[in-house]
Amino acid sequence: MERLAINGGKPVRKTPIYYGHQAIDEDDINAVVDVLKSEFLTCGPAVEVLEQKLCTITGAKYAVAVSNGTAALHAACYAADIQSGDEVITTALTFAASSNCILYMDAIPVFADIDPTTYNIDPRSIEEHICEKTKAVIAVDFTGQAAELDKIRSICNKYNLILIEDGAHSIGTKYNDQFVGSIADLTTFSFHPVKTVTGGEGGAILTNDDKFYQKMCLFRSHGITRNVRLMDFTEKYEDIGNDLGGWYYQQIELGYNYRITDIQAALITSQLDKLTRFKLRRKEIEEQYNRAFKSFPGIILQKNVSKSDTVKHIFVIQLDIDKLSVGRKEIYDALKAENICCNVHYIPVYFFPYYKKLGYKQGMCPIAEKLYKRIITIPLYPAMSNEDVDSVIAAVKKVIGFYLK
């Protein structure tokens, strides 16, 4: 058997490859340069173009572009009118932002467990956690596969809950032939560089609801409006009276500065032109991995959600730990020595000290916790060459093959 790089052997690759990476072409660069030469760097026309494009692509009625995906989740919670003491159900297996946004509202995150095969939030676990304080569900499309939206929607209807979909992984994914963004009451996207489409940073919320849309527009910019129809004139101030000059605005809510720049918006719009290409390439790589690992001992593959036509965001392999002589850390380190730089998605949110201080305890979501100990995210992004893909496959087989019992 070939000697592992971690034991002094020759690494499968000469240069490191990471689990995710942006793909920036000349036209993306030109789109950014055009903005830099234009009149507006922020709050200009590029933001509206992006919002229009997101609506066209997804079929949603409204889009609000914001500074990042976390701000998008915060805005969605605000639009959903989540109040202090409300409970909001989300998955344990996600990035902290999916749950932190609930804390921003002084509300209570309640963690539902996952399906052991698709790793998405389990609708049955959602229903088990519902009580009179429950206000909303934040379902995450883990790895880009849509959550079980039919089932989650009917639970939300039954208990009168708002459905927020954290689509940070799933832009371009379709569920029942409908694009993510047009399905839930509110859907959020992230445009961080590891995501399918990037603006450096950036985010957006999509909705079909006019009231949600108006609220999020205010929320994104301090709660300030120039729209006279929204203004409050019950008090008459001597100095302004009804003298509504062109400068006049009011702050009518407490919002934030969650605006996105035109520089980012132009980059995201340019990237969205390539979404179909990105989707195809991601699918190709996913298929190569599935073929290579399908019957390889020591590896368990994620099961497909049948209604989801997925743009795969990350490729997660589950280690069949009982068949291996070492744990996940040793596999991770050995792959790193082969120059395959993996990651783990995710440490269950309530494992973090901050959540522990709030009273969350290990053992709440046993399926997510068990899975966490067994998963590794291997490189997947459209700019990978076929040689890159082959090197990942070779390294994974080399390392896991070596440690098979």
Ligand X SMILES: *Cc1c(COP(=O)(O)O)cnc(C)c1O
Q: Which residues bind ligand X (CB under 6 A)?
A: 68-70, 94-95, 97-98, 140, 166, 168-169, 190, 192, 203
Give the nearest distance from C-beta 290 to ligand X in angstroms.
Answer: 22
Give the nearest distance from C-beta 68 to ligand X in angstroms.
Answer: 4
Residue closer to ligand X, measured from CB, 68 or 208 = 68
Give the nearest distance from C-beta 80 to ligand X in angstroms.
Answer: 16
Residue closer to ligand X, measured from CB, 58 or 377 = 377
Q: Which residue is nearest to ligand X (CB)?
A: 69
Residue closer to ligand X, measured from CB, 12 or 371 = 371
HEC letters along the chain: CCCCHHHCCCCCCCCCEECCCCCCCHHHHHHHHHHHCCCCCECCHHHHHHHHHHHHHHCCCEEEEECCHHHHHHHHHHHCCCCCCCEEEEECCCCCHHHHHHHHCCCEEEEECECCCCCCECHHHHHHCCCCCEEEEEEECHHHCCCCHHHHHHHHHHHCCEEEEECCCCCCCEECCEECCCCCCEEEEECCCCCCCCCCCCEEEEECCHHHHHHHHHHHECCEECCHHHCCCCCCCCCCCCCCCCCCCEECCCCCECCCEHHHHHHHHHHHCCHHHHHHHHHHHHHHHHHHHCCCCCEEECCCCCCEECCCCCEEEEECHHHECCCHHHHHHHHHHCCEECECCCCCHHHCHHHHHCCCCCCCCHHHHHHHCCEEEECCCCCCCHHHHHHHHHHHHHHHHHHEC
Give the nearest distance from C-beta 172 to ligand X in angstroms.
Answer: 15
Give the nearest distance from C-beta 281 to ligand X in angstroms.
Answer: 20
Residue closer to ligand X, measured from CB, 288 or 343 = 343
Residue closer to ligand X, measured from CB, 181 or 203 = 203
Residue closer to ligand X, measured from CB, 318 or 377 = 377
Give the nearest distance from C-beta 113 to ligand X in angstroms.
Answer: 17
